[in-house]
């Protein structure tokens, strides 16, 4: 069930790949490439749509540089989003097309496109846009950054690892060929890799102590994967060993990972301490997993103020997860959500089967299970694919009474 397998056959990047739609562009591009030292190059006939299809189907690593043709394409920005979904974030994209339009040019650059050349292209124009391949510093320049999603919780056992790990799996499986890195920041008892059916090891400690040498080859050797989409980094330290990464080590690691992964999921064992502060500082999105207890309402309030009190606070979603069966004396969902200052984004009911089975076998969640549906809804919310109307939950019911008063009191 646990496979340390690393697929290695497609880890080599092509330096340059071009998709051009007409014979004249093809011959100019080929002529230009003969005079450069760009390394291994591929030229195909077709538009940006062909490129998306090709990259999606072929399953190879993205090229370092990619040139696509938008001639005749009307919804260019949508196609660029589609392209971003099948490429690693570090790819440098160049665009050629038949529209001489300043507005288009500007919006292409805003999307991270390196340059736009109006057809007919010539070898000279290409040289000006792409250089001649000798500017290696430029070739590794980072263009787009993957998104860092920090998952934390109000108490142990609330479902942080289950949500984080299954979210990572969901993001890697949906929408093209997204690359996802799951980092278990619990260095002693992390069970995330196990839950994903991948081997553990101490790679997280290795990379955090070697942040000066984090090149793509080193990361490729170190991160664990089975499908070249979902990768894990975790640790299993001896209990006597201290875990004290250098200040900024996590930030440096996330900056490098951000060039190669669309999503980086941080499984946070606790919301406090230096490493957690660094995780929040680097997060674009935060998910706080909570159960519906008085203790969690109080902790959630403190955590939310802590996260939202940052200068540029990350978008934060509350996930209400019932990791235990409801018992007598438990807080009613309605009372809990009504007492909160923030809406609950996704609510996952108790699911006595799927999460535990998945954890024990290292298997994916059945998509029709309660937990599977919850994770899917969260993934949709984070990627903007779906809308979960969370304010409705907030507005639902206003109770009063002793318990409610205690929950309210948690805020002040």
Ligand X SMILES: Nc1ncnc2c1ncn2[C@@H]1O[C@H](COP(=O)(O)OP(=O)(O)O)[C@@H](O)[C@H]1O
Residues that bind ligand X (CB under 6 A): 153, 156-162, 321-323, 348, 350-352, 355-356, 359, 371
We find the least distance from the C-beta atom of residue 157 to Mg ion, in angstroms, to be: 8
Least CB distance to Mg ion at residue 194 (A): 11
DSSP secondary structure string for all residues of 193-253: HHHTTB---SHHHHHHH-GGG--HHHHHHHSEESSSSEEEE-----TTS---PPTTHHHHH
Q: Strands 180-184 and 41-45: what pairing?
A: unpaired
User: Of 155 and 408, which CB lies nearer to ligand X in the complex structure?
Assistant: 155
Output 282 or 322, the one with its CB closest to ligand X: 322
24 SS3 class: helix
Closer residue to Mg ion in complex, CB, 79/267: 267
CB of 185 to ligand X, least distance (A): 11
At closest approach, how far in Å is the CB of 379 from ligand X?
16
- For residue 175, give Cα distances in angstroms to 3, 146, 222, 351: 25, 15, 26, 26
Q: Of 119 and 161, which has the nearer Cβ to Mg ion?
A: 161
Give the Cβ contact number of residue 9 at 10 Å.
Answer: 8
- Nearest approach, Cβ of residue 205 and ligand X (Å): 19
| Contact partner at residue 158 from ligand X, Mg ion, none, CB < 5 to 8 Å by partner kind | ligand X
- C-alpha pair distances (Å), 338 with each of 164, 267, 307, 349: 26, 28, 21, 17
Do residues 69 and 99 make contact, with C-beta atoms less than 8 angstroms apart?
A: no
Closer CB to ligand X, 167 or 250, in the complex: 167
In terms of Cα–Cα distance, which of 11, 24, 151 is closest to 96? 24
Q: Which does 350 bind (CB under 5 to 8 A by kind): ligand X, Mg ion, none?
A: ligand X
Nearer to ligand X, 118 or 388 (CB): 388
Q: Is the CB of 157 or the CB of 386 nearer to Mg ion?
A: 157
d(CA 171, CA 377): 11
Q: Provide, rounded to whole angstroms, the least separation between the CB of residue 352 and ligand X.
A: 6
Give min distance, CB of 326 to ligand X, in A. 11
Name the closest residue to Mg ion (Cβ).
Answer: 161
DSSP conformation class of 48: H
| 352 half-sphere exposure, CB direction, 13 A CA radius | 2
Based on CB atoms, which residue is closest to ligand X, 64 or 162?
A: 162
We find the least distance from the C-beta atom of residue 179 to ligand X, in angstroms, to be 23
Residues that bind Mg ion (CB under 5 A): 160-161
CA count, 13 A, side-chain hemisphere, 219 = 23
Expressed in angstroms, the distance from the first to the final Cα of the chain is 48
Q: Which does 224 bind (CB under 5 to 8 A by kind): Mg ion, ligand X, none?
A: none
Q: Residue 263 touches which of Mg ion, ligand X, none (CB < 5 to 8 A by kind)?
A: none
**Sign, CA torsion 265/266/271/276:** negative
Query: Half-sphere exposure (CA, 13 Å, Cβ side) for 265?
Result: 31
Dihedrals φ, ψ of 28, to 5°? Answer: -65, -45
CA distance 187 to 197: 18
Residue nearer to ligand X on the CB measure, 218 or 350: 350
Beta 180-184 vs 344-348: how paired, if at all? unpaired
Smallest gap from Cβ 397 to ligand X, in A, equals 22
Measured CA to CA, the distance from residue 375 to residue 108 in angstroms comes to 33
């Amino acid at each position: 069930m646990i496979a340390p397998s690393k697929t290695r056959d497609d880890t080599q990047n092509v330096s340059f790949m071009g998709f051009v739609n007409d014979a004249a562009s093809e011959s100019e591009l080929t002529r230009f490439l003969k005079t450069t030292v760009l390394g291994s190059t591929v030229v195909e006939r077709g538009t940006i749509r062909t490129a998306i299809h090709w990259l999606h189907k072929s399953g190879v690593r993205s090229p370092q540089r990619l040139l696509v043709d938008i001639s005749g394409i009307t919804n260019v920005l949508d196609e660029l989003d589609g392209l971003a979904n099948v490429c690693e974030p570090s790819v440098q994209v160049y665009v050629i097309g038949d529209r001489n339009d300043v507005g288009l040019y500007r919006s292409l650059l805003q999307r991270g496109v390196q340059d736009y050349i109006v057809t007919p292209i010539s070898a000279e124009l290409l040289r000006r846009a792409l250089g001649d391949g000798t500017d290696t510093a430029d070739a590794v320049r980072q263009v787009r950054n993957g998104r860092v999603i920090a998952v934390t919780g109000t108490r142990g056992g609330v479902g942080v690892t289950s949500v984080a790990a299954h979210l990572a799996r969901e993001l890697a499986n949906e929408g093209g060929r997204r690359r996802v890195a799951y980092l278990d920041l619990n260095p002693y008892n992390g069970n995330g890799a196990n839950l994903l059916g991948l081997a553990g090891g101490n790679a997280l400690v290795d990379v955090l102590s070697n942040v000066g040498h984090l090149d793509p080859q080193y990361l490729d050797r170190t991160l664990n994967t089975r499908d070249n989409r979902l990768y894990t980094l975790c640790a299993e330290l001896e209990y006597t060993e201290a875990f004290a990464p250098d200040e900024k080590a996590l930030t440096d690691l996330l900056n490098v990972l951000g060039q190669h992964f669309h999503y980086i999921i941080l499984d946070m064992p606790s919301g406090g301490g230096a490493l957690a502060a660094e995780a929040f500082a680097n997060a674009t999105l935060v998910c706080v997993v909570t159960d519906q207890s008085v203790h969690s309402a109080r902790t959630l309030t403190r955590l939310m103020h802590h996260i939202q009190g940052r200068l540029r606070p990350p978008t934060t979603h509350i996930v209400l997860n019932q990791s235990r069966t409801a018992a007598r004396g438990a807080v009613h969902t309605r009372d809990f959500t009504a007492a909160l200052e923030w809406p609950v984004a996704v609510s996952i009911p108790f699911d006595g089967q799927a999460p535990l089975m998945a954890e024990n076998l290292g298997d994916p969640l059945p998509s029709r299970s309660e937990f599977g549906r919850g994770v899917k809804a969260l993934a949709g919310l984070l990627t903007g694919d779906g809308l979960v109307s969370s304010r409705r939950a907030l507005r639902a019911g206003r109770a009063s009474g002793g318990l409610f008063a205690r929950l309210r009191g948690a805020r002040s």
